[in-house]
Structure 1
Amino acid sequence: MKNRTLIFEETFNEGTLPNQSNWDYDVGGKGWGNGELQYYTYANPENVKIQDGKLIITAVKKEVEGHPITSTRLVTRGKKHWLYGRFEVRTKMPKGKGTWPAIWMLGVDEENLGWPRMGEIDIMEHVGRDQDTVHFSLHTEKYNHPKKTQITYVSKIANVSDEFKTYVMDWSEDKISFEVDNQHYATFYKKDYADSWPFDKPHYLILNLAMGGGFGGQVDMTCLPATLEIESIRVYQ
């Protein structure tokens, strides 16, 4: 890639669980601020595994602490974080109403600032109740989902649950842009949101498959198990 250096790469060709040097787990079933149904487990092969050169995150019908579904939420918090760069994730979405996969980032200063002041970059969100509709979004103190002011672009993209696609977020000092399979979809400029732009500080990466909640909607339990598959993650600077 012209004038860019590959600084992080995951191709999921080794081991049976994610590399602990890069990944940790968010664990629990507290609804995660969205009323989600799943309980996130820790390194449970039912919910996360590396197989055939892919990371596979699976939501399954299993009750834990009153939650009817278990799943996985992987984070690089405390292990890897980045300020600016080109982030490429090759992935295939699950199918089924209630599925809510996301590839996203949060600012590292969440303890002091909290959400959404520390910033959120949604590289990709998809909900099964609206198949083949992809959301690219930014959340900040002023522009966020609870206020219905989030900075967002929504597009129909065919076959996201049938084939692997490469989702790209390109982040620089003055803008953040999004593309899928080399097609550009949106660019958000700092100058347009300068009064609330926390994207000048490092962020860490999150991969998760949520179920239900305010965005995921009603869950069709017959769609379980549902899988989010990731072939590769690359970061260039």
Structure 2
Amino acid sequence: MKFSTRIQYLLFFGVVGGFFLSCDSEDKDNPSGSNPSNPVATIPIPEQGYVSPTSYDGMTLVWEDDFEGNSLDIANWSHETGRGDNGWGNNELQYYRSQNTSVERGHLIITAKEEAFGGSQYTSSRIVSMNKKQFRYGRVDIRAVMPRGQGLWPALWMLGSNFSEVGWPACGEIDIMEMVGGQGRENTVHGTVHWQNDGSHAEFGGSYKLQSGTLADQFHVFSIEWTANRITWYIDNNKYHEIDTTPAQLDEFRRSFFFIMNVAVGGNWPGSPDNSTVFPQHMIVDYIRVFQFD
């Protein structure tokens, strides 16, 4: 995500008083994120869209989550909950709850709602693979369909696994996919990296605009190929952005990273929802796959 990721992580994982803060008590009875009281069987899941290969020459599949079953696999993922510090560092408006995550019909569903909870007027979910699944180099494919509407801000991204030791942006950040909802922006995917350069935040990003339709109409596959020398971004296997990471100040990207999936509501980049925004909205993820080079 853009802006101050470090601030939001200091609240939850940064060393605050020498210990890690736990998730909020309202989620402790539901660690898996399943929500039987709020079935999502009526949520339409598109049948159309790009499907990525299950293998690549010179690579081996080392991990995948196809989101089978009826709850989030806690061996892979944890929830981050709450309002964060200063709206997760971005003036976001949502309260993250585990109840807004469901696993249904072989898909992960993160739902953003307009509802009052914990001092916020919106709720959503944010899951992380921190301390569970982390990787250095390879290809990542994530097949997903985005929500739509002014103020929605879905993201599929990564942070350096050494975050708790060095903070942000020194840990590095790889945004595999970000979309900004509303104002005709839902046809554009953004891929960005953030790092620390001479003690300051630096970033470099690119984007790709669909020839027709939006990222909410059908499934697309958002990918990166990551080596010790470069990171390359793809949508549906079409390359649209690349960065040379060989300079010494980009050493963050030669270390391990973990995954984050979330849907923010409001914030510095998308702005707030308005009367045109229809809730609930859903980000639907079919699978995540990690391949590494032989």
Q: Same fold (TM over 0.5)?
A: yes
Structure 1 position 216, deviation (Å): 2.1
Q: Distance in 2 between matches of 1:235 and 1:136?
A: 18
Deviations 1:52-106 (CA, angstroms, capped at 9, x unpaired): 2211100011212211111100000011100111000000010100000000000
C-alpha distance after superposition, 1:24-76 (max 9, x if no partner): 0111102110000000113x1xx111112211100011212211111100000
1:166 alignment partner, one of 221, 231, 234: 221
1:19 maps to 73
Query: In the alignment, which residue of structure 1 is the partner of 2:263?
Result: 209
TM-score with structure 2 setting the length = 0.75
User: Does residue 234 of structure 1 match 2:289?
Assistant: yes
Is structure 2 residue 105 aligned with structure 1 residue 37?
A: no
Q: Does 1:218 align with 2:272?
A: yes
Amino acid in the other structure paired with 1:219 = P
Alignment of 1:1-237 (within 5 A): 1-14=56-69, 16-30=70-84, 31-42=87-98, 44=99, 47-129=100-182, 130-142=185-197, 149-157=202-210, 158=212, 159-191=214-246, 193-220=247-274, 222-237=277-292
> Runs (4+) of structure 1 moved beyond 4 Å?
none
What secondary structure, in the 3-state scheme, does the structure 2 residue paired with 1:86 have?
A: strand
Percent identity reads 37
Contact 2:107–2:286 under 8 Å retained in 1: yes
Distance in structure 1 (CA, Å) of the matches to 2:128 and 2:274: 27
Give 1:184 shift.
Answer: 0.7
**Alpha carbons of structure 1 residues 97 and 55: separation in structure 2 relative to 1, 3 Å:** same
Higher relative contact order (CA 8 A, sep 6+): 1
If the length of structure 1 is used for normalisation, what is the TM-score? Answer: 0.92
**1:21 CA displacement:** 0.4
List per-residue Cα deviations over 1:184-210 (Å, max 9, x = no partner).
11111113x432330111100000000
Structure 1 residue ranges without an equivalent (≥5)? none
Amino acid in the other structure paired with 2:169: P
Q: Distance in 2 between matches of 1:20 and 1:195?
A: 35
Match of 2:17 in 1: none
In structure 1, C-alpha distance between the alignment counterparts of 2:198 and 2:260, rounded to whole Å: 20
RMSD: 1.7
Contact 1:143 1:196 (C-alpha < 8 Å) held by counterparts: no
The separation in 1 between residues aligned to 2:167 and 2:274, in whole angstroms, is 33
More strand by share: 1
Deviation at 1:143, TM superposition (A): 9.4
1:220 CA drift (Å) = 2.7
Number of corresponding residues = 230
Instruction: Write the distance in 2 (CA, Å) between the matches of 1:143 and 1:128.
Output: 33
The structural deviation recorded for 1:142 is 2.4
